[in-house]
Amino acid sequence: MTKLVLLDRDGVINEDSDAHIKSPVEWRPLPGSPEAISRLNRAGYQVWVVTNQSGIGRGYFTEDDLDAIHEKMHAVIREAGGAITGIRVCPHAPDAGCGCRKPRTGLLLQIEEALGRNLQAVPFVGDSLRDLQCARDRGCEPVLVRTGKGEKTRRELPHDLAHVPVHDDLAGFVDALLDQG
């Protein structure tokens, strides 16, 4: 069975912004994240990105803008020797009531359908409570990084998620994962 890792985007792979990442110019990788994805790939992992992008639903940027942002992300990761296998995006505003906005699990269901398998015990790395809740609710292994909103999230973890592994950043998670064998 193919080895997988799921990643939130903003705050895990790239710098986060409360004003949203609206253009390729605003998309900046976090130090070491492209190389960490490359290391995952070399170790036989497919990497999928699972991201809420409510800026589309709010009218801050378009789907074409998002495509351009993701083209830049792919190029930066490719330059580091890695690849993202797939991206699943919720473009809806928070009040849209959709089933795909994390913490709901619709994006994970889409990945399961694409792969023809469940995501039980697959690591899902995020920086927010909604990432961890989404992972837990679909049977993935929730993992928290301190980058982005991660340190604030760590301080406010509810009791039912207090056990999640916490790493300084994506590279730290990859180090720990690959050390496990």
Catalytic entry in 10, 16, 127, 131: 10
* Rounded distance between C-alpha atoms, residue 154 and residue 170, angstroms: 15
If you average pLDDT over every residue of the chain, what do you get? 97
- Total residue count of the chain as it appears in this document: 181
The backbone region for 11, taken as left when phi is positive above 0, alpha when psi lies in -120 to 50, beta otherwise, is left
Task: Set out the domains of the chain in order of their start, with CATH numbers.
Answer: 3-179 (3.40.50.1000)
As a whole number of angstroms, the distance between CA 108 and CA 48 comes to 10
Condensed to tens digits (0 to 9), the pLDDT of residues 68-96 reads 999 999 999 999 999 999 999 999 999 99
Q: Which helix (H) or strand (E) holds 71?
A: helix 63-79
Pairing of strands 141-145, 166-167: parallel
**pLDDT tens, 120-139?**
999 999 999 999 999 999 99
pLDDT classification of 2: cutoffs 50, 70, 90: confident
The question of whether 95 is a catalytic residue gets the answer: no
Which of 19, 29, 4, 9 is closest to 139 using CA atoms? Answer: 4
Q: Is 16 a catalytic residue?
A: no
Tell me the C-alpha distance between 90 and 53, whole Å: 6
**Is the model's pTM score more than 0.85?**
yes
Which pLDDT band, with edges at 50, 70 and 90, does 59 fall under? Answer: very high
